[in-house]
Amino acid sequence: MEVTLQKKEEILKKWEKNPMLKPRLAKVVVNFGVGASGERLEKGVKVLETISGQTPVKIRAKKTIRDFGIRKKEPIACKVTLRGEKAKEFLRKALEAVDFKIKASSFNDYGNVSFGIKEHINLPGVRYDPDLGIFGMDVCISIERPGYRVKRRKIRRARIPERHRVHRDEAMVYLMEEFGVKIET
């Protein structure tokens, strides 16, 4: 499902008419699924820290899988959440690694996008270090409108109505306009 030119113009007019409807980048989550604890995970943490500029959090296994040698509550991955300018800066690098192309199937109905990068050395400005190795990563993008804080705040929390949620087409148009992304079918 691709956004047609007419639909794109309609969405842009709606945003111009009411600035509270224009989406914004909420956060970017970068995940390294290493699959094992120990030295390889520590190397992954080090790589993620140099790429993102923030200290990553280790993620623990939810259940034991004997075939993979994973025990419950064993750290097997790491992730970092980026917001604001850091998120935009990292997202530009990540999109450059995939040639600014994202599949339409990567978008969900609520304004979230996910894509993968096979090797972290594909990011611009990152060099290969033989001591660390090569890691793949998942990049998850959350897009929301102004006013979404109402859903997360502690006092007087409330639902966000369907008309104020970011939909799939709007997320596509936002990424096309802000970052120059091409949507592939």
For residue range 54-73, list pLDDT tens digits in order. 999 999 989 988 888 888 98
Taking the C-alpha atoms of residue 118 and residue 125, their distance in angstroms, rounded to an integer, is 16
Structural domains in the chain?
5-184 (3.30.1440.10)
Give the helix/strand (H/E) hosting 27. Answer: strand 24-33
pLDDT digits (tens, 9 = 90+) for 33-54: 887 888 889 999 999 999 999 9
Give the β-pairing of 24-33 and 57-60. Answer: unpaired
